[in-house]
Amino acid sequence: MLEMKLVSKRFGLIDPYSIDDFIANKGYQALKKALKADKLDLLDEIENSKLRGRGGAGFPVAIKIMALAKEISQPKYVICNADEGEPGNFKDRYILEKDPHSIIEGMLIAAYMTNAKTGYIYIRGEYSLQIDIMKNAIKQAREKNYLGEAILGTDFSFDLEVRSGAGSYVCGEEFALLESLEGKAGRTRVKPPFPTSRGLFNKPTLINNVETFATLPVIIDIGGKEYAKIGTASSTGTKLISISGNVLKKGVYEVPFGISMRKIINELGGGVENGRKIRMVQLGGECGPIIPEYMLDMVIDFERFEEFESKTGAGALIVIDDRFDFFEILKRISEFFTHESCGKCIPCREGNYHLLKIIDRFVNYCATEKDMNLLENTAMVLHHTSLCGLGQSAPTAIISALHYFRGTFQKRIEASLSQEDRIYAKN
Amino acid sequence: MPKIKINNLEIFADPGSTILEAAKEHNINIPTLCYYPDLHINSDCRICSVEIVGQKGLVTACSTPVKDGMDIKVNSPRALNARRTITEMILANHDAHCTTCIRNLNCELQTLADNLGIDATRYENILEPKAIDTSSYSLVRNPNRCIKCGRCIDVCQSVQSVSVLEIIGRGRESVVSPAYGKLIADVFCTYCGQCSSVCPVGAITEKDDTDEVWKALDAHSKHVIVQVAPAIRVSLGEDLGLPLGSIVTGKLISALKMLGFSKVFDTNFTADLTVIEEGHELINRISNKGVLPLITSCCPAWINFAEHEYPELIDNLSTCKSPQQMFGALAKTYYAKRENIDPKDIYVVSIMPCTAKKTEARRPEMSVNNEDPDVDTVLTTRELAKMIKQMGIDFNNLRESNFDKPDEVTSGAGAIFGASGGVMEAALRTVKEVLENKPLKILDFEQVRGTEHIRHADVEINGATYKVAIVNTLGSAREIAEQVKTGNSPYSFIEIMACPGGCVGGGGQPYGTTHAKARERMHSLYQVDRLSKIRKAHDNPAVSNLYTSFLGNPSSSIAHELLHTHYTNKR
């Protein structure tokens, strides 16, 4: 079996609208265990687990939690980033709609460790069903005193609310999310300071991804050292992978780190439809690199993915077969980022549109060598100078495409030239 | 102290300083664009991107704190290329018809592009022309030149607390504009013009009225006279190649004469008059238990702010017109009669450090015949500099002239109206001396001077202590106004100026005015005061003469008719 169900162990087995189902399936036991434990010991467990953030950037979770725990000032906030807007990613949606209490439990554990009293789950506006499920779960948890004052008879109090934006992609970026939560337009902030020192309403804030919070009860349950044995040395534990595109069995699968992408695509995703050939696979979502078929033996691992200089850790595989034009795909990606750029910093605001215009010349067979150079230069400047993760990762697909598919670009330029010749000859 | 390397130079930086600050401290220039000394760091333009050896991405020098051991390369090929590429992107979405732009040769984007050696842009121009907002009497907003650096928004929101400007729309569609794309005239803009002062390009400028003035000067039937505000004499020189803070009163008068004005008058004269009228108003209110605190009314942006946001305070506002409008009213009555000229033929121009003065002159109540404006046209410092250049005047080599008789006599008290705290000091000199009925020993009220946005002082008059406050910037005015509104103000008299430092930092002053520059101009104004023969408004014989020959007494009915006004709740 490739799959290893830790976070997704209750998927499909419980009614998401029933807290009793959750409790009957070992739900809130990790919380009870945590409430009896010393906070420093809990922090040790997280540190020993070597858990890295599951939202994409892969930042060590223990560092963030410890930073918040050290802040003395109140209020402190714990925020769950459920603004899963990255195309090709839907693993948070699965957790939200199949096991909502696991997120609440994870947030409670984080809040207990850090002495935070207020939390928010920021769910993307399009997830209306999930918002409904989550609101119901919070209500039920409050009724059973898993949320609220003096939780389960301890002196720990914490409460939680669902918030949502209007569907802007950039609100998944943590600073834009904070701005949106404060009621402002979703645009990122200048950094430093970082959220753990000055986050929501300028107060210390812990922001983590849905899957990260849902993993905390697992770690408390089995112990940090035990958890670290799963996966690889640099990437411990399991990862929910969203597989989409031209595969037979699209869906979310939980696997330990260290499994090759080819295995995931073929064995879990059921391979490519109609036995076609894979042209390319995009990792992580629109903001991730595009790799050729021959690289699929690479294993899922934060360290290995670092070579792409992008935040591919959210765990998405978008499989594209040979029916699709390479440049049409790049164009669609560029259109997406041109549309979703918040407009705050100049490279992202202006650059994405220029990338789109240049790609369009490749699509229309009128590109030159100069265009390729400008494309590469523009993409690198965006990557190096943009203010937030959106702008920095927007050109990743193009940068990786230029790296792995340079021949395809060159062929298109040659074809463009001959096309020009043909037009010239006609006239 | 963190030890860092910038361009291979080893330096010790102040802990907590940014790379940009550390570099500046050691005379290493890092190009910037959205950065502005008195505003927040927003690091939107990314022009100051530098390379830190060992780091993959670039960091912006303006927002990155120094860390021990940092090895910073300001001009590594990667950083330089990024800077050039970003500049090209800006130019590709900018109305870059530089030679026909008001900011030509005085534009931060142009200078940046020049310094980076940009001679072509590799990007297609993607500018989609948008309508220019000319709805107000004061400001013009040209979105086609806007580079969305955010300075205007920051100054409007965080310094002035007015918040009429905002980024609306997202990504490529984002524009700087009043909410919902409204026109400036349709929102509660105070016209302070600080946005135009900090704009790096020609996206927000004053409404250019120079052509109106040229036309009037050319019309033979018109007797065109001009008044010059106190703060102009210490700032105009900067726009004409002279050092910061140069006092250019004499050359300024010569230049105005050369432009063709029949008479050149000093607004200091009506500033002196304001002191007398407002001083009596204060004395009246104190002795007759009138509404206190009395709040000054010479700043039109503050008046707009009060009428829009604090109409509850209207009774606290001094009923005195501003010196500009007192001059206009007297020009078309007293002066017309004295010189035997039909008021209709008199054309009054004023040179102001201010964009709000343009709108003030158009207020319907600022017309003695209820038909024509008392002040026909208002020019900012910048517009006057432009006219002097258009005329080809070699300003620096002009001989000095004096203001026209018989109103040439002005006091140092009038001069310091241009500095925050000046109106307060001028009024105190008069009020204290009149009430105590003995000559003041010390004329300098040091306790009311300075540049902090809110200052307080206790003033002793006849044994009683009065609390006064001096406020500059509308953000601070809001704080003080809230106090008055809730009845918690301990003050008897409050001076409020909308611009940082007062009129020396006015929105019509040379582009790129900073707190530091305003401070230098302020020093020069106090020097003008120190060197004045007369330093108290009530000692000005020309003012006394005006009362004996025309107005009668302070607060007389004719004084009220011409020199006082009323305000409207505009909420």
Dihedrals φ, ψ of B59, to 5°? -120, 155
Q: What is the pLDDT of residue A424?
A: 64
The verdict on A299 and A382 lying in the same domain is no
- pLDDT over 80 at A423, yes or no: no
Tell me the C-alpha distance between B197 and B155, whole Å: 10
Q: Which of B34, B58, B85, B153 to mutate to test the interface with A (most CBs of A within 10 A)?
A: B85
Q: Look at residue A273 in the predicted model and tell me its pLDDT.
A: 84
Domain presence at residue A386: yes
- By C-alpha distance, the chain B residue nearest A393 is B57
- Check: CB of residue B92 under 8 Å from CB of residue A350: yes
B270 touches chain A (CB under 8 A): no
- Does A218 map to a domain? yes
The minimum CA-CA distance between B42 and chain A, rounded to whole Å, is: 6
Do B44 and A344 make contact, defined as CB atoms within 8 angstroms?
Answer: yes
pLDDT tens digits along B189-223: 999 999 999 999 999 999 999 999 999 999 989 99
The pLDDT assigned to B408 comes to: 66
Do residues A314 and A372 share a domain?
no
| Co-location of A331 and A261 in the same domain | no
Q: CATH number of the domain that A90 lies in? A: 3.40.50.11540
Bond from prior residue into A16 cis (ω within 30 degrees of 0): no
pLDDT higher than 70, residue B54: yes
Nearest CA of chain B to the CA of A202: how many Å? 16
**Per-residue pLDDT, B1:** 87
Structural domain for A130, as ranges: 19-228
Does A309 score more than 90 pLDDT? no
Q: Is the pLDDT of residue B407 over 70?
A: no
Q: Is residue A271 part of a domain?
A: yes
Binary contact (A341, B170; C-beta < 8 A): yes
Instruction: Count Cβ neighbours within 10 Å for each residue of B254-264 and write b for 16 or more, e otherwise.
Output: bbbbebebbbb
Q: What is the CATH number of domain B211-563?
A: 3.40.50.1780
- Whether A214 and A138 map to the same domain: the answer is yes
Across the interface, do B58 and A353 touch by the CB < 8 Å criterion?
A: no
Q: Determine, for residues B45 and A192 on separate chains, whether the beta-carbon distance falls below 8 Å.
A: no
Q: What is the mean pLDDT of residues A148-152?
A: 97
Segment A278-288, tens digit of pLDDT:
999 999 999 99
Total number of domains constituting chain A = 3
User: What's the pLDDT at B203?
Assistant: 98
Residue A426 — pLDDT band, cuts 50, 70, 90? low
The distance of A189 to chain B (nearest Cα, Å) reads 8
- Kindly report, residue by residue over B229-273, the tens digit of the pLDDT: 999 999 999 999 999 999 999 999 999 999 999 999 999 999 999
pLDDT at A166: 84
Tell me whether residue A7 is in a domain. no
Neighbour count for residue B563 (Cβ, 10 Å):
25
| Topology (CATH level 3) of domain B139-207 | Alpha-Beta Plaits (3.30.70)
Residue A9 lies in a domain: no
CATH number of B3-91: 3.10.20.740
Per residue in B527-544, pLDDT (tens digit) is 999 999 999 999 999 999
Interface pTM (ipTM) of the complex? 0.93
Nearest CA in chain A to B78: A381
Determine whether the interchain pair B81/A377 forms a contact, defined as Cβ–Cβ distance below 8 Å.
yes
* Strands (E) located in B484-531: 493-497
Which active-site residues of B does the annotation give?
278, 281, 298, 318, 357, 360, 365, 503
Instruction: Kindly indicate the confidence band of residue B559, based on its pLDDT and cuts at 50, 70 and 90.
Output: very high
Q: Is the dihedral of CA A58, A61, A64, A67 positive or negative?
A: negative
Q: Are B567 and B304 in contact (CB under 8 A)?
A: no
| pLDDT class of A304 with cuts at 50, 70, 90 | confident
Rg (CA), chain B: 25
**CA nearest B49 in A: which residue?**
A385
Please give the structure tokens belonging to residue A357: 């215009």
The structure tokens 């026109």 sit at B183
Residue A133 located in a structural domain: yes
Same domain, A82 and A193: yes
pLDDT over threshold 60, residue B435: yes
Residues paired with B457 in a beta bridge: B468
pLDDT of residue A346: 97
Whether B211-563 and B139-207 are alike in CATH topology: the answer is no
- pLDDT score of A311: 62
- Residue A361: give its domain's CATH number: 1.20.1440.230
Q: For chain B, which residues make up each domain, given as ranges? A: 3-91, 139-207, 211-563
B167 with A343: Cβ contact below 8 A: yes
B440, B525 Cβ separation under 8 angstroms: no
Tens of pLDDT, residue by residue over B474-512, are: 999 999 999 999 999 999 999 999 999 999 999 999 999
Q: Give the pairing of strands A316-321 and A278-283.
A: antiparallel
Q: Are residues A90 and A175 in the same domain?
A: yes
Whether the model pTM is above 0.90? yes
- Asked if B148's CB is within 8 angstroms of A349's CB, the reply is yes
Report how far residue B45's alpha carbon sits from residue A387's, in angstroms, rounded to the nearest whole number.
9
Give kind and range of the element (H or E) at residue A92: helix A91-98
Cα gap B538→B557, rounded to integer Å: 20
Task: For residue A427, name the pLDDT band (cuts at 50, 70, 90).
Answer: low
Same-domain status, A352 and A377: yes
Final residue belonging to a domain, choices A182, A200, A228: A228
Phi then psi for residue B354, to 5 deg, are -145, 140
Query: What per-residue confidence (pLDDT) applies to B303?
Result: 98
Residue B90 near chain A (CB below 8 Å): yes
Q: Are A375 and A293 in contact (CB under 8 A)?
A: no
> CB of B32 within 8 Å of any CB in chain A?
no
Best of B41, B50, B86, B201 to substitute, by most chain A Cβ atoms within 10 angstroms, is: B86
Q: What is the mean pLDDT of chain A?
A: 94
Which of B428, B466, B425 has its CA nearest to residue B448? Answer: B425
Are A293 and A375 in the same domain?
no
The verdict on residue A13 lying in a domain is no
Q: Is B63 on the interface with A (CB under 8 A)?
A: yes
A270 and A419 inside one domain: no
Same domain, A83 and A119: yes
Q: What is the DSSP letter of B243?
A: P
Task: Tell me the percentage of chain B whose pLDDT exceeds 70.
Answer: 99
- Optimal mutation site among B52, B89, B94, B146, interface A, most CBs of chain A within 10 A: B89
Residue A14 forms part of a structural domain: no
Query: What pLDDT is recorded for position A312?
Result: 63
Quick check: B83 pLDDT over 60?
yes
Query: Which pair of structure tokens corresponds to residue B397?
Result: 């080599």
Domain boundary among A278, A295, A321: A321
Chain B residues close to A353, C-beta within 8 Å: 126, 172
Residue A57: pLDDT band by 50, 70, 90 thresholds? Answer: confident
- Residue A47 Cα, gap to closest chain B Cα (Å): 26
Q: Are residues A185 and A263 in the same domain?
A: no
- Determine what percent of chain A is predicted with pLDDT higher than 70: 97
Q: Is the pLDDT confidence value at B157 over 80?
A: yes
Same domain, A54 and A184: yes
Which amino acid type is present at position B381?
T
Which string of DSSP letters, residue by residue, matches A386-420? -SSHHHHHTTHHHHHHHHH-HHHHHHHHHHHHHHH
Q: Considering only alpha carbons, which residue of chain B is nearest residue A352?
A: B172
Digit-coded pLDDT (tens) for A198-226 = 999 999 999 999 999 999 999 999 999 99
Chain A residues with CB-CB distance to B41 below 8 A: 190
**What's the DSSP call for residue B317?**
B
Q: For B91, which residue in chain A has the nearest alpha carbon?
A: A350
Q: Residue A313's pLDDT is what?
A: 67
Is B120 an 8 Å CB contact of chain A? no
Rounded alpha-carbon distances, angstroms, from residue B229 to B350, B416, B536? 8, 10, 18
**pLDDT for position A425:** 59
B86 at A interface, C-beta within 8 A: yes
Give CA–CA dist B399/B224, Å, rounded.
22
**Smallest Cα distance from A292 to chain B, Å:** 24
Closest CA to A99 of A18, A179, A170: A18
pLDDT tens-digit profile of B281-333? 999 999 999 999 999 999 999 999 999 999 999 999 999 999 999 999 999 99
Q: Which of B381, B508, B521 is nearest to B451 (CA)?
A: B521
How confident is the model over B125-136, as pLDDT tens digits? 999 999 999 999
Last residue of a domain, one of A200, A228, A256: A228
Chain B residue closest to A374 (CA)?
B122
What's chain B's average pLDDT? 95
Burial (0-12, 13-18, 19+ Cβ within 10 Å), B405 = exposed
- Which segments of B444-485 are extended strands (E)? 454-461, 464-472
Chain A residue numbers touching B81 (CB-CB < 8 A): 377, 381
Cβ of B122 within 8 Å of Cβ of A374? The answer is yes
* Contact call for B81 and A187, based on CB within 8 A: no
For residue A165, what pLDDT is reported?
A: 86
Inspect the interface and report whether the beta carbons of B89 and A168 lie closer than 8 Å. no
Among the listed ranges A139-153, A341-355, B361-375, B392-406, which one has the minimum average pLDDT value?
Answer: B392-406
- Measure CB to CB from residue A378 to each of B58, B85, B167 and give the nearest one: B85
Biggest CA pair distance of chain A: 86
By DSSP bridging, strand A205-209 and strand B49-52 are unpaired
Query: Are B279 and B427 a contacting pair, CB within 8 Å?
Result: yes
